[in-house]
């Protein structure tokens, strides 16, 4: 089987809440998502999706995806997409870094592989573990009272895990955590995610002020070294996200006992191929995981669901349903939230069928 054509589509995805805010006064009103379609000489077609969270979250931005695809895609023509490891290595040879550019291609290759094998990706990635995966809901940064109201609203949708967007001034963040915790229900998980927004002294002040409060602290500071310092001061479990960008970073953090949970974002690891390696390494190291991505809709949510549902249940902290944050569906058959949980599709590959009337005309065709 050979790749004969690669197409890319640009899709704007307005957010359900109208906007989304996090540390550093960062804010977006819509996702700018890129969908990749890989066509083969066998007639099999695979799809992938990647969606950076604006240009100021990770070293990634939406227009960069399409520019990178224009550079990378011609090198993949004539190669077998089912050889996902070989494709991953070829992409690394032809484009240094830029993991997010490679992610949608990698997902699309896995989709072709699953369709060729007539198996869902959850089977190829390790086998289904449990009936469904637990979801978390990110709570956009706002006043303490409004964030507590948002938690209550999403609690009614079945969520039992909430990620509070903090990382502004310490006093307000302390109030945010305490206000939400005051109304929390038994068994709920509360994460205070600073997205690297605190300086060390601010993070130290917050973790001391909420000492004894049942809350997780996520990515308190920008650098690994600062986060490690807070890890040594805090009594709360600590989650690392932005600074874990590959196996090297994970091995270092594991040796330092720098965290209790790791967030695995598929696009940060160049797709399912890299994310699976990090996932399996976390299992070997005994580290729990959140399986997610930076944004997107139905196709990326399907990829998340397959990776998460094939992760041993004991190691799943939670995962994200990106498509519940947006107002536009781009594929049929995608996972949907049911009482705060979702399951990987049963169909071959990703198990989804893109809506071409939504995708529109391609912005890139390489053949």
**Catalytic-role residue among 2, 70, 181, 265:** 265
Task: Identify whether residues 331 and 212 lie together within a single domain.
Answer: yes
pLDDT tens across 293-339, in order? Answer: 999 999 999 999 999 999 999 999 999 999 999 999 999 999 999 99
Task: Identify whether residues 159 and 104 lie together within a single domain.
Answer: no
Provide the token pair at 164: 């509070």
The pTM assigned to this predicted structure is: 0.97
User: Which contiguous run of DSSP H or E holds residue 240?
Assistant: strand 238-240
Query: Whole-angstrom Cα distance, residue 69 to residue 46?
Result: 16
Residue 165 annotated to the active site: yes
Q: Three-class SS of residue 126?
A: coil
Q: Residue 32 — pLDDT band, cuts 50, 70, 90?
A: very high
**Residues contacting residue 33 through CB under 8 Å, at least 6 positions apart:** 10, 11, 12, 13, 49, 50, 51, 62, 295, 296, 297, 300, 330
pLDDT tens across 105-140, in order? Answer: 999 999 999 999 999 999 999 999 999 999 999 999
Task: Identify whether residues 166 and 188 lie together within a single domain.
Answer: yes
* pLDDT value for 115: 98
Task: Identify whether residues 305 and 157 lie together within a single domain.
Answer: yes
Question: What separation in angstroms does the CA of 255 have from each of 248, 259, 260, 282, 287?
Answer: 11, 10, 12, 12, 12
**Please, which residues bridge with residue 22 across strands?**
26
Domain that holds residue 136: 123-350
Task: Identify whether residues 135 and 262 lie together within a single domain.
Answer: yes
Task: Identify whether residues 170 and 70 lie together within a single domain.
Answer: no
Task: Tell me how crowded residue 145 is: count the other CB atoms within 10 A of its CB.
Answer: 12
* pLDDT value for 140: 97
Residue 268 annotated to the active site: no
Residues for the chain: how many in total? Answer: 367
DSSP 185: P
Q: What is the arithmetic mean of pLDDT over 64-68?
A: 98
pLDDT tens across 248-280, in order? Answer: 999 999 999 999 999 999 999 999 999 999 999
Query: Whole-angstrom Cα distance, residue 190 to residue 248?
Result: 29
Task: Identify whether residues 154 and 270 lie together within a single domain.
Answer: yes
* C-alpha Rg value of the chain to the nearest Å: 20
Task: Tell me how crowded residue 367 is: count the other CB atoms within 10 A of its CB.
Answer: 11
> Cα-flanking dihedrals φ and ψ of residue 358, to 5°?
-85, -40
Query: Whole-angstrom Cα distance, residue 344 to residue 110?
Result: 14
**Catalytic-role residue among 102, 165, 181, 268:** 165
Domain count, the chain: 2
Task: Identify whether residues 346 and 358 lie together within a single domain.
Answer: no
- Name the nearest CA neighbour of 39 among 4, 9, 14, 65: 4
């Amino acid at each position: 089987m050979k790749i004969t054509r690669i197409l890319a589509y640009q899709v704007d995805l307005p957010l359900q809440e109208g906007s989304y805010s996090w540390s550093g006064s960062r804010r977006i009103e819509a996702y700018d998502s890129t969908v990749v379609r890989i066509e083969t000489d066998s007639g099999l077609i695979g799809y992938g999706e990647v969606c950076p969270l604006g240009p100021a979250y990770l070293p990634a931005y939406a227009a960069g995806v399409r520019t990178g695809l224009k550079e990378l895609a011609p090198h993949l023509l004539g190669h077998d997409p089912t050889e996902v490891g070989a494709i991953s290595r070829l992409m690394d040879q032809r484009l240094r870094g830029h993991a997010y550019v490679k992610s949608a291609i990698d997902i699309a290759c896995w989709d072709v592989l699953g369709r060729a094998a007539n198996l869902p990706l959850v089977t190829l990635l390790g086998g289904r573990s449990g009936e469904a995966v637990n979801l978390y809901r990110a709570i956009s940064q706002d006043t303490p009272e409004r964030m507590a109201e948002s938690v209550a609203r999403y609690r009614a949708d079945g969520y039992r895990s909430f990620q509070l967007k903090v990382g502004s001034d310490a006093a307000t963040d302390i109030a945010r955590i305490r206000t939400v915790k005051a109304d929390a229900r038994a068994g709920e998980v509360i994460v205070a995610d600073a997205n690297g927004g605190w300086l060390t002294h601010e993070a130290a002040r917050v973790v001391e002020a909420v000492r004894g409060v049942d809350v997780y602290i996520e990515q308190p500071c920008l650098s690994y070294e600062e986060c490690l310092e807070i890890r040594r001061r805090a009594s709360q479990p600590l989650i690392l996200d932005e600074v874990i960008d590959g196996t090297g970073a994970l091995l270092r953090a594991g040796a330092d006992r720098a965290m209790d949970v790791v967030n695995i974002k598929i696009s940060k690891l160049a797709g399912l191929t890299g994310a699976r390696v990090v996932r399996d390494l976390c299992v070997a190291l005994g580290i729990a995981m959140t399986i997610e991505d930076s944004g997107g809709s139905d196709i990326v949510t399907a990829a998340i669901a397959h990776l998460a549902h094939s992760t041993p249940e004991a190691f799943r902290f939670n995962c994200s349903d990106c498509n519940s944050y947006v107002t536009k569906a781009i594929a049929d058959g995608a996972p949907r939230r049911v009482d705060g949980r979702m399951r990987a599709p049963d169909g071959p590959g990703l198990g989804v069928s893109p809506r071409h009337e939504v995708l529109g005309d391609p912005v890139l065709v390489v053949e």
